[in-house]
Amino acid sequence: MEITVQWIRTSWTKHPRGGAPAARRNSAPMGFLVSPVPSSFAQVIRTSERDGFEPHESERDLRQVGLTLRDEGDRLRVLARVEPLFGLPPRPRRPPAVRLVPGQWVRWQLNYRFSSAAGIRDWSYWLDTFNVAYGPVDPNVFLSEPTVLVDECGPVR
């Protein structure tokens, strides 16, 4: 069965936490048109503060994406991995894996905050959005509302 994966990582520092910069960051899309990539690869899109949150697209082997995907015959089991483990917020209780039937898709979001070990640099933040579809899809599938939404975003101040 066909699996389509899109991974969007948005990164920023504490400087655009308010006002116009935060509005620009928050207006970054949670889904993009699907680009053709080999079947064992994910479409990867990066946006960051230093580029004005302009999207930059690449592809990556599915084994290098923060997801566990398992074909269970008539369903696809999807679980986002928490990576890296040293970022905040803590996640003592995680939601269970999502099981998709053909024609369904999930949007799974996780956020992180990091600080330098010595506290010399400012905090930095990530928002990871994983869009995963099971079965054949149109290129605009991730521009619509997901079948399942898992929001694991926590307080990062």
What is the chain written as a DSSP string?
A: --EEEEEEEEEEESGGGSHHHHHHHHTS-S--PPPP--TTEEEEEEEEGGGTT--EEEEEEGGGSSEEEEE-SSSEEEEE---STTSBSP-SS-PPPEEEPTT-EEEEEEEEEE--TTS-SPPEEEEEEEEEEES---TTGGGS--SEEEEE-----
| pTM exceeds 0.75 | yes
pLDDT tens digit sequence for 36-66: 999 899 999 999 988 888 999 999 999 999 9
pLDDT tens digit sequence for 84-95: 666 777 777 889
pLDDT tens digit sequence for 73-131: 899 999 999 876 667 777 778 899 999 999 999 999 999 888 766 555 678 888 999 99
